[in-house]
Amino acid sequence: MSQANTVTVKILDKEYQVACPEEQEAELVVSAKYLDKQMRSIRETGKVIGLERIAVMAALNISYELLQASEHGDAQRPALDTGAVDSLNRKLDDALYQLRQLEIG
């Protein structure tokens, strides 16, 4: 059984402490750097404002990449087309708008 260590990762200039087995620390650091890069890219477009929204958009993009990559190894998994991603983006926009309205009210 592996011992869990606390690893500090930095994403969008904010530090997060994450418990991680010692043998997976390198992968966690690489993953955090990749997420940071994706989130910075989204933020730099200027079209997405707010840390939570940037994080969700990055998660959607990374999920899409994962599905595309796994599609090459699993012929039975259906492809996710860009129309589906656009639809998810619209739903996300609507949900975040409603959340903001609840916070204002």
pLDDT at 76: 47
Residues 32, 73 share a domain: no
Do residues 27 and 61 share a domain? no
The rounded mean pLDDT for the chain is 81
Residues 76, 40, single domain; the answer is no
Long-range CB pairs of 89-95 (<8 Å, 24+ gap) are 89/57, 89/60, 92/53, 92/56, 92/57, 92/60
Q: How confident is the model at residue 74 (pLDDT cuts 50, 70, 90)?
A: low
CATH of the domain at 2: 3.30.160.880
| Residue 54: CB atoms within 10 Å | 19
Q: How confident is the model at residue 88 (pLDDT cuts 50, 70, 90)?
A: low
| Structural domains of the chain, count | 2
Same domain, 57 and 42: no
Q: What is the pTM of this model?
A: 0.64
**Domain range holding 6?**
1-47
Q: What is the C-alpha to C-alpha distance for residues 71 and 99, in angstroms, rounded to an integer? A: 34
Angle between helices 51-73 and 82-104 (to 10 degrees): 160
pLDDT on residue 61: 92
Note whether 59 and 18 are same-domain residues.
Answer: no
Higher-confidence residue of 30 and 99: namely 30
